[in-house]
Amino acid sequence: MSHIGRSGETDKRMLRREFLAVRSRLTADDVRASAVALAERALDLPELAHARVVAAYVSVGTEPGTPALLDALRARGVRVLLPALLPDNDLDWGAYTGEDSLARVQHGKLMALLEPSGERLGPDAVTDADVVLLPGLAVDARGMRLGRGGGSYDRVLARLESAGARASLVVLLYDSEVVERVPEEPHDRPVHAVVTPSGVRRFRDS
Binding-site positions for ATP read: 12-16, 145-153
Q: Where are the beta strands (DSSP E) in the chain?
A: 53-55, 79-85, 91-95, 102-105, 113-116, 131-134, 138-139, 145-146, 168-172, 193-196, 199-202
Q: Give the span between the Cα atoms of 69 and 41, in whole angstroms.
A: 10
CA distances from 178 to 91, 139, 200, 203 (A): 26, 5, 11, 12
Backbone angles phi, psi at 129, to 5 degrees: -75, 140
Torsion sign, CA atoms 170, 67, 165, 9:
positive
Residue list, annotated binding site for substrate: 58, 63
Q: How distant is the alpha carbon of residue 100 from its chain centre?
A: 21
Are 64 and 138 contacting, i.e. CB atoms less than 8 angstroms apart?
A: no
For residue 56, give the nearest of 104, 110, 16, 96 by alpha carbon.
96
Residue list, annotated binding site: 12-16, 58, 63, 145-153
Burial class (CB in 10 A: 0-12, 13-18, 19+), 26: middle
